A and B are shown apart, each in its own frame.
Chain A
Amino acid sequence: MVQFIDVFKTYENGAKALKGVTFEINDGEFAFLVGPSGSGKSTIIKLITGEIAPMDGTVIVNGYDMGNIKFGKMPYMRRTLGVVFQDFRLIEDKTVYENVAFAMRVVGASTKEIKRRVPYVLELVGLDSRSRRRPQELSGGEQQRVAIARALVNNPSLIIADEPTGNLDPARSLEIMMLLEKINELGTTVLVVTHEKELVNSLSKRVIAIDGGRVISDGLDGYYNYEE
């Protein structure tokens, strides 16, 4: 679960990124976070992943109070999250299998667990036949599916996808959204940051629109209330 209660954030250069943001995403929900460049979307993501701390207000992520979390607890909080980036961020000299296994390895999973879990997740994202390929041998859509598999492999309760379709054509974008929807149906909370209006409206999910550091609309019917 993600809870933002009257959150303010001002950067060192004086830029006021968030001005009293309040919203809540419950376990098992699927939500879009939309807004123009500089609206505060990235700040919200960074607050959720613990890259920055709130200046005022409360941010709770999967039970961790992000304003007071100790540095040593941060890795354990991050293990409850899966993050997917627009630029995939795969390790070029590792195969698809190794990229996914790597995420398990770094949290101390045993080889036995890795051998059991990675093929299952690759099958879930439809890449079981591509496991020995390296990222550069795959299409953009396939690379993003590897990134989703990596985010999913440690069984997080929340997946954050930051512009996951920004580098993909419309058909591949829809595939990625369908995959995220399928993951959500399996019980994982999903928060997607995106600009793509058609895509957002086609899925009829909750949309949190942010502009100027404030939440300007929060609808459950897939309504895209933000006009660029």
Chain B
Amino acid sequence: MTDWTGIITMKSNRFGYYIKEGINSIFTHGFMSFASVCIIIACLIIMGSFSLLSLNVDHVIKVHEDENVMLAFVDETLTDTQAMALQDEIEAVPNVASAQFVSRDSAWNSFKDSYDSNSSMFDGLTSNVLRHRYIVYLDDISLMSQTQLDVEQIPGIARVNAHLEISDGFVKLRNIINTVSISLAAILFIISLFIMSNTVKLTTFERRDEIAIMKMVGATSSFIRWPFVVEGLILGLVGSLTAYILQWGIYQAFVQKVIGSVIQPFIIETLPFAAFAIPLLIVFIVIGFAVGVVGSVIAIKNYLRV
């Protein structure tokens, strides 16, 4: 019969040993531990800052995308009823989210309202100088050029106005920010891994005799490895939590206060930290753990081969 009490006691003994040895090693090699945590913090903050910048740029682009519409002008030979009947055809075009009919009278009133209502410059003019039009909302701003051509093909549509240069600019900006953020995140992750691995390598080098003795008396590789993994885990967790708190402070200070007070009212609207607080915390902890654990496993691999 299996002695479960014995097995559980043995497992909990070992677990306690791994934790104790991992923590001991952090304090014994205090400077190296401190250096590792600092490196993790620096890399996470740089990665985090670019990611938050990317998220904000995405958000701004999304806001402007919603405002960046096309205007489809209806041929003036069509009757009011025929002009209104074009809505279904326009909305059937791929990438068109919706189309809103604006009669020439409504457009004329809006036009006049944008000037001094008492101005005499509109004397003698009627709404007939304008065409019926549709405000066309798009699903994807990057496909604006193709959608413009598709809408122009509809019989009864005389012309389509689209600010292609603005949509292209947004798309290019988003692509650049995303590429830079992803590349930087990947590079910094590898750098963190390398530095973490070297830190644990130094620790294992100092303890190589101890590891050799452990192997000689019959310790399994996992028994030797676990305290180093615990050490990496703790350093990764401390680094990621500290980086998260610092990132929060930096974001609040710079984005919310500096950009928020000077630029935001005129150009952009930034996201509040709360919008990504939980996902960012999870990402930081996962990266911190990954750097700590993978770095430790890589570092100790060579010492376990005997």
Task: Tell whether A pairs with B.
Answer: yes
Cβ-defined contact, A79 with B218, below 8 A: yes
Q: Judging by beta carbons under 8 Å apart, are B10 and A154 in contact?
A: no
Q: Is A145 interfacial (CB-CB < 8 Å)?
A: no
Interface residue from A72, A106, A110, A111 paired with B217 (Cβ < 8 Å): A106
A138 to B207, CA, bound (A): 22
Q: Kindly provide the distance from the CB of B230 to the nearest chain A CB, expressed in whole angstroms.
A: 15
B216 contacts A78, CB within 8 Å? yes
Closest partner residue, chain A, to B304 (CB atom):
A71
Q: How far is the CB of A163 from chain B (nearest CB, A)?
A: 16
The contact of A91 among B14, B213, B218, B223, by CB within 8 Å, is B213
Nearest CB on B from A100, distance (A): 10
Chain B residue nearest in CB terms to A99: B213
A-B CB contacts (within 8 Å), total count: 50
Tally of B interface residues using CB under 8 Å: 20
Tell me the bound Cα distance from A102 to B215 in angstroms: 12
> Is B306's CB within 8 Å of the partner chain A?
yes
Q: When each residue 214-251 of chain B gets 1 if its CB lies under 8 Å from chain A and 0 otherwise, what string results?
A: 11111111011000000000000000000000000000
Report the bound CA distance from A110 to B7 in whole Å: 10
Interchain CB contact under 8 A, B219 and A51: no
Question: Least Cβ distance of B105 to chain A in Å?
Answer: 86
Q: Which one of B10, B209, B219, B306 contacts A106 once the chains associate, using CB atoms below 8 Å?
A: B219
Query: Interface range on chain A: under 10, 10 to 19, 20 to 34, or 35 or more?
Result: 20 to 34
CB-CB under 8 A from A91, the residues of chain B are 209-210, 213
| Secondary structure of the B contact surface, majority rule | helix
A95-113: contact bitstring with B at CB < 8 Å (1 yes, 0 no)? Answer: 0000000110111101100
A150 CB within 8 Å of chain B: yes
Q: Which residues of A contact B13 (CB under 8 A)?
A: 108, 110-111
Instruction: Fill in one digit per residue for A141-163: 1 if any B CB lies within 8 Å of its CB, else 0.
Output: 00000000010001000000000
Known: A108-B13, A110-B10, A110-B13. A83 touches B219 (CB 8 A): no
Q: Does B263 contact A (CB under 8 A)?
A: no
CA distance A107 to B210 in the complex (A): 14
Q: Tell whether, in the assembled complex, residue B217 and residue A79 are in contact, meaning their CB atoms are under 8 Å apart.
A: yes
User: Which one of A72, A79, A83, A108 contacts B14 once the chains associate, using CB atoms below 8 Å?
Assistant: A108
A144 to chain B, nearest CB (A): 15
Residues of B within 8 A of A154 (CB): 217-218
Is residue A89 contacting chain B, with contact meaning CB distance below 8 A?
Answer: yes
Q: How far is the CA of A106 from the CA of B218 in the complex (A)?
A: 7
B276 within 8 A of A: no
A111 contact set on B, CB distance < 8 A? 13
Q: B110 at interface (Cβ–Cβ under 8 A)? A: no
* Shortest CB distance A154–B (Å): 7
Q: Does A14 belong to the interface (CB within 8 Å)? A: no
Which B176-230 residues have C-beta < 8 A from chain A? Answer: 209-210, 212-221, 223-224
9 contacts between A and B (CB under 8 A): A75-B221, A77-B218, A78-B215, A78-B216, A83-B216, A83-B217, A106-B224, A107-B218, A110-B9
**Can you list the 8 inter-chain pairs with the closest CB atoms, starting with the nearest?**
A79-B218, A106-B219, A78-B218, A103-B217, A75-B218, A75-B220, A106-B214, A107-B218
* A→B interface (CB under 8 Å): 49, 51, 72, 75-79, 81-83, 89, 91, 102-103, 105-108, 110-111, 150, 154
